[in-house]
Amino acid sequence: MRGKALGRHATQVRQPKVDVTSAFAYVTDERGFELTRHSALSVALSQPQPCHIYIYCYQFTPAGRESLAAVFDQYGTELRFSRIGDPDLERHQTCGHVTTPTLLKLSVAKELIGRYDRVVYLDSDMLVFDDLKVDHISFGSSPVAAVVDLDLSDTGALRRSQWVAGRDDDATTLGYFNAGLLIFASENWTDDCLDTYARALDQHDQGCDYKINCTSIDQCALNKTFEGSWLQLPASFNMQAGAKFEADWQSAAVRHYCGVRKFIPIAPFRNDSRDIRRLNAIRRILGLSTTRFSFMFEAFFRVNAMRKRRGSGAMRRLLAALG
């Protein structure tokens, strides 16, 4: 059982609801802040006004946050900053591009649950293009909604699935979600979520039940926490980079550049013209340089997509099953 200092077992005090029923939230360290402000502005440009966005900062305070908040205010968005930390969660080992702040996703949710009906957590490497219509999602009794993880690698959670093997006899492989976008329903949240998550992190230190040579400790622990109780969202809510050469990538409401290579810096063969239009709009607002000749990047991207198509049959089958 966790100590009283962390407040895990105390009855949660429900704060008065605000007029805005949904909030969007990020957690980042200083290294990830540039991605975060780009992603947050993509939310501000796509969601109904007024919009509330929270950036929780791990072990740093961003410079110029007042001026950045003023920029967001021009687009009907209230941008707020806060420090966050939890030594009990931070002590777990992370690996590669998965950084310590990713362990604090549920801590972020708890900060906002009760003040909003819906809390949308996003990873910093996401670009949002369309209104997510969060208030229209019917949760039933589910505390969280997410998208199936699209990792079909030979070490991933779906490595033995029908989608990889090309079989039609196993429909039980869609029980593992990607934790890049999580939508929490305040009415279904229970105060023991963080304790369950903390135990799952401890268990993961001993071994992963989902993956081989696992590097996604936060995601696997979250799957354990909400096993059998999460709501599956359409893949468009979190179209992961493993599908970026498929047709679904072109119309996805959210593109998720999971992995080492992100949506910035812009690069040939990785960013298409849709990316560049979105990023140019964001960067103009931020007073940053923009990218010219988007048609050239589109041509490079299409060449890469054709080159990758032959080996992407499993991904197409999975996306077709997800609808």
Q: Tell me the pLDDT band of 322, cut-offs 50, 70 and 90.
A: confident
List strands edge to edge, sheet with 254-256.
126-128, 254-256, 239-240
Q: Let me know: does 244 contact 19? Beta carbons within 8 Å.
A: no
In a domain, 83, yes or no: yes
Which residues of the chain form beta strands (DSSP E)?
22-28, 51-57, 77-83, 118-122, 126-128, 144-148, 177-185, 231-232, 239-240, 254-256
Residue 241, token pair as written in the block: 């980079």
Domain count, the chain: 1
- Calculate mean pLDDT across residues 235-264: 94
Q: What is the mean pLDDT of the chain?
A: 88
In a domain, 27, yes or no: yes
- Would residue 213 be called left, alpha or beta, if left means φ above 0 and alpha means ψ between -120 and 50 degrees? left
Measured between alpha carbons, how far is 37 from 40 in angstroms, rounded to an integer?
A: 5
Is the pTM higher than 0.85? The answer reads yes
In a domain, 137, yes or no: yes
pLDDT value, residue 3: 38
In a domain, 44, yes or no: yes
pLDDT value, residue 165: 57
Q: At 245, which CATH number?
A: 3.90.550.10
Question: Which residues constitute the domain of residue 223?
Answer: 12-322
In a domain, 2, yes or no: no
Residue 69, token pair as written in the block: 């908040």
In a domain, 116, yes or no: yes
SS3 231: strand
SS3 95: coil
In a domain, 236, yes or no: yes
Task: Quick: pLDDT tens for 51-74.
Answer: 999 999 999 999 999 999 999 999
